[in-house]
A and B are shown apart, each in its own frame.
Chain A
Amino acid sequence: MILFLQQTVTGICVGLAYAMIAMGLILLLRAAGVMNFAQGNLMALGAYFAYLFLGKLHLNPAIAVILAILSLIAVGIVFCCVCFFPFKRTKWPQAMLICTIGAGTVISECCLCFITTETKSVDPIVAGSLHLGSFIIPYQYFFIFGVTALMMVGLWLLFDKAYCGRVMSAAAQNKYAADLLGIPTNLTTMLTFCIVVLMVGTAGWLLAPVYRVSNSLSIFQARAFAALIIGGFGSLPGAIVGGIAVGLIESYSTYFTTTYKDVVVFGALLLVLAVRPQGILGSKVKKDKA
């Protein structure tokens, strides 16, 4: 029973991190029309900035956080300029996807340049775990939960309550109409990129102490894709639900197997595609949405 609770909590926390990455994918998909295959590398980048500013340079945590945020925003701007603007009038949409693969490789190699070996560890924000009898949860999981929840609320406030958020949504839904109205679509797209890189980088930083920092972290990217499909492709709530579902599936799978975790998670993806292709939250309508 305790084990079940423990796994549920871990599953939800990690699932929220997956959800953040999945939400980032959806936002980029809507704003730029591209499925970003560099998402895992961007996560790793966040973790590396954490390692660099906190670990290697031993900066004051507040300064480190600010520097990391600024660096991630800069990366977002560059990423947008490289992987989006040149493709605005492309005839071959897959080209953008492959460009993100290339960009991802560049990012991970740059990380490798800073770090000599492939795996380093990032200290958790608060070391140690909470002990309630035999119920053990490392403190880091609370931070994962807290920060991701905060970011999701922030996104909801932005897109649902703020004028500029709505303008950004409009630009993502129909660029031509937005241009006609005078919406600065290039600016909104770039903003979206920066927000996504921030989100994903933060997720990387949060998850790094739990999973060792590796320059790829691409397995998270694959989990995020699974989250998108399972939760219902194309919607932000779907990404959240899907992320949590994947986290729970992965967590519960440790009951009966540790080596075949991937098989369980991706087998679940195939199962969802077979039985309910629109995902948990998806509905069969909305063909011209996003």
Chain B
Amino acid sequence: MENGTKRSRFLRLLLVSAVVIAGILLVDKFFIQNLKNSRVNLINVALIYYFSVAGMYLMLGLGGCMSMCSIAVMGLSAFVCGFTNTKLGWPLFPAMLCGILSSVILCAVVGSLLMKLDGRAFMFGTMALVYIGTSVFQNFSAFTGGPNGTSGISKLTLFGKTFSTFKSWFVLLAIACYLLILLLHRIKNTSFGRSLMAARDDETAAYSLGVNVYRTKLLAFIISGVFSGIGGALYAVHNGTISASLFSFTTQQSFIIMLMLGGVMSPVGALFGSILVNYLPEIARSAGTYLNMLYGALIVLLMIFMPMGLAGLLKNQYQKLRKLLTGKRKKTTAKESA
């Protein structure tokens, strides 16, 4: 029986993946390829940001910790990748790996310190990291190129194809995000994921059930660091140029908004949140000077009326619809049997 359900789950996964990949290819062919380059850049960057937002989903949605340092970790990885590639002349893949490794080390070191603290102290500790990061990125010219940033990072070459334009990146990034979502779903259903959620809901109860809260949360932090690191390396290669002004607390705040807009408990929602937040300014260009104000007001309204984000809203509507349909069905069967 177990083999049967395992096989059917695997088949279902294959089916869904096939549909999703087909969908991605269709979107690419009919939409992305006809879009202006700058807009494609926005969408790609949104997909890259999703890596950091996914890390935040892991920490906040599953772990209940408001981690504010994704942008600093991403920045470190991006600059290390850029530095090793341009200044040290390393080929691309080792450079990217180095970037990711540096973010892992950073998260391990900082995490081991901060995870012992309570939620608020942790949040402020991660914020401190972002401000330190901003300052270092802006000023440490030898490493980051200072205010001018790092430029001239090599292009990605995969299976003989060189990704030299933004448009060529879309399919790759979209598939990567899909794999990330699958990974997040998988994590949620492991004992690690369940321990994390237990620790989120009640640390003492989790502890009494044998969950090593410190280690679980630290592992989650490092995993989110890996995601942010991958995002940073991808950003460096995708854009070819990195400038320090991106890696500031403002961007971190936008990550939080991406997560909350999409739905703090939903990886898929977070993806759409990322795309929306990044792309909305383009669509709403006409609003002009009032754009940011509307944006802020939108967030306020969103938190008041839809704290679970778009995903939460959709889930609610879906459940209401289901109740309506099954309710009606129950009524008719009762009548028939009467």
Contacts and interface: CB of A to CB of B under 8 A. Distances in A.
Interface of A: 35, 37, 82-83, 86-87, 90-92, 94-99, 101-107, 109-110, 112-113, 218, 222, 225-226, 228-229, 233, 259-263, 265-267, 269-270, 273-274, 277
Given A109-B296, A233-B120, A269-B125, A274 B113 contact: yes
B284 to A, nearest CB: 14
A244 to B, nearest CB: 18
Contact of A105 (B121, B132, B136, B292): B292
B interface residue count range (under 10 / 10 to 19 / 20 to 34 / 35 or more): 35 or more
A222 B131 contact: yes
B289 A113 contact: yes
7 contacts: A35-B123, A91-B307, A94-B66, A102-B296, A109-B290, A266-B132, A273-B113
Given A98-B256, A110-B293, A274-B113, 19 more contacts: A94-B60, A95-B303, A95-B307, A98-B257, A102-B299, A102-B302, A105-B299, A112-B289, A113-B289, A218-B249, A222-B249, A225-B127, A260-B135, A261-B135, A262-B132, A263-B132, A270-B129, A273-B121, A277-B121
A270 B300 contact: no
B249 A259 contact: no
A113 B134 CA distance: 28
Q: Among the interface residues B116, B249, B300, which one has the most CB atoms of the partner chain A within 10 A? A: B300
Contact of A259 (B110, B139, B299): B139
A109 to B, nearest CB: 4
Contacts of A112: 289
Interface string B264-290: 100000000000000000000000011
Contacts of B303: 87, 95-96, 98-99, 102
B257 A273 contact: no
Contacts of B10: none
B128 A269 contact: yes
B124 interface: yes
Contact of A270 (B128, B260, B293): B128
B114 interface: yes
Given A259-B139, A262-B131, A270 B125 contact: yes
A99 B125 CA distance: 21
Given A105-B299, A277-B121, A263 B136 contact: yes
A103 B296 contact: yes
The 7 closest A-B pairs by CB, nearest first: A102-B299, A105-B296, A109-B293, A262-B135, A106-B296, A266-B128, A95-B307
Contacts of B138: 259
Interface string B99-135: 0000000000010011011001101110111011011
A270 B113 contact: yes
Interface of B: 60, 66, 110, 113-114, 116-117, 120-121, 123-125, 127-129, 131-132, 134-136, 138-139, 249, 253, 256-257, 260, 264, 289-290, 292-293, 295-300, 302-304, 307-308
B319 to A, nearest CB: 16
A273 B114 contact: yes
A107 B60 CA distance: 27
A167 B259 CA distance: 38
Contacts of B295: 102, 105
A189 to B, nearest CB: 17
Contacts of A277: 116-117, 121
A270 B297 CA distance: 34
Contacts of A106: 293, 296-297, 300
B304 A99 contact: yes
Nearest to B122: A273
Contacts of A91: 307
Contacts of A267: 128, 132
B128 A103 contact: no
Nearest to A105: B296
B124 A109 contact: no
B229 to A, nearest CB: 20
A92 B127 contact: no
Contacts of B257: 98, 101-102
A263 B137 CA distance: 11
Nearest to A94: B66
A260 B139 contact: yes
B323 to A, nearest CB: 20
B136 to A, nearest CB: 6
A260 B134 CA distance: 10
A159 to B, nearest CB: 22
Nearest to B260: A98
A6 B138 CA distance: 29
B131 A266 contact: yes
Contacts of A273: 113-114, 117, 121, 124-125
A92 B264 contact: yes
Contact of A102 (B134, B289, B298): B298
